[in-house]
Amino acid sequence: MQQITATELQTKAQRTKIRQNKKVLDLHAVKVACKECSLHQLCLPRSINGADLEKLDNIIERKRPLKRNEHLFQVGESFQSIYVVRSGSLKTYSPTVDGQEQVTGFHLPGELLGLDAIGKGKHPCAAKALETTSICEVPFENLESLSQELPTLQHQLLRLMSKEIFDDQELMLLLGKKTAEARLSAFLLSISLRFKQRGFSSIEFYLSMSRNDIANYLGLAVETVSRMFTRFQEDGLIEVERKHIVIKNREVMRQIAGMNECCEDDTQVN
């Protein structure tokens, strides 16, 4: 099964030096056409046929991989492109008045960045790599005019934006109504699900973000997040050692998270 090797690869990349990490990425991240991209079912061109896929492929630019802490774009930068994560991960965050930052999301392979910038023409948040990360850049003008030609692409684009709105609303519910333990539980299950959808293990994975980022994202203090991790471990729900997580009891976690049933049949989401 691909799941297992994929996981191993990921855990390896996390543990090993950047040198080796880079080598792994170079192998399948750069100069691969969309139709050969292992993510092509998850990213934009889902349900696009051969000829159309090539058209899309032509407008996509592949960038050199970002190193950890490098920015993909900064706050206020003029909006030119949509980005797709090819491998690695990023966080998006915006500055708040009091000089803090607010983490608005984490982005795993196959996920999009920049959709929130279309409206104003500039990025309301910054995007920073959490680890070595490779990215596809899709110039928005080209994407827009290509969508004009290809109804399925337009449809897919609207679907993806709609999904983002939907997901944001779930998060609003989380932030508005749920307890600290429900938030962390939901967060872990969400990451788990997203890994699964991308062919990685859903029961064992490495978190690329710090406790601080998690806390910030979930609207909690770092200390609270830390305590929750400890408690979950004590209760046998997870095993945790720094960034390494093993989900031991998904059922109970789901109850704690107060999950809607609807959040489950998300399998063919993207």
Partner DNA sequence: CGCTGCTTTGAACAACTTCAACTTCTGTGG
Partner DNA sequence: CCACAGAAGTTGAAGTTGTTCAAAGCAGCG
Q: Provide the binding-site residues for DNA, judged by CB under 7 A.
A: 179-181, 210-212, 219-227, 229-230, 240, 242-243
For residue 213, count other CB atoms closer than 10 A to its CB: 20
Query: Shortest Cβ distance from residue 178 to DNA (Å)?
Result: 7
Contact between 6 and 201 under an 8 Å Cβ cutoff? The reply is yes
Name the binder of 210 from a copy of itself, DNA, none, CB < 5-8 A by kind. DNA
Give the number of other CB atoms < 10 A from CB of residue 119.
9
Contact string 208-247 vs a copy of itself (x = CB under 8 A): ---------xxx----------------------------
Tokens 């945790």: give the residue. Answer: 240
Among 67, 227, 235, 258, binds a copy of itself (CB under 8 A): 258
165 contacts which partner out of a copy of itself, DNA, none, CB within 5 to 8 A by kind? a copy of itself
Q: Which helix (H) or strand (E) holds 196?
A: helix 180-197
Paired tokens of 209: 């973000």
92-151: which residues touch a copy of itself (CB under 8 A)? 94-98, 100, 102, 104, 115-120, 124-125, 144-145, 147-148, 151
**Contact with a copy of itself (CB under 8 A): which of 52, 54, 57, 164?**
164
Distance CA 187, CA 53 (A): 34
169 part of the interface to a copy of itself, by CB under 8 A: yes
3-class secondary structure, 201: coil
Burial 122-140 (b: 16+ CB within 10 A, else e): ebebbbbbbbbbbbbbbeb
Least distance to DNA, CB of residue 10, Å: 16
Residues 6 or more apart in contact with residue 99 via CB below 8 angstroms: none
Q: Report the interface residues with a copy of itself, using CB under 8 A.
A: 94-98, 100, 102, 104, 115-120, 124-125, 144-145, 147-148, 151, 154-155, 157-166, 168-169, 171-173, 175-177, 217-219, 258-260, 262, 269
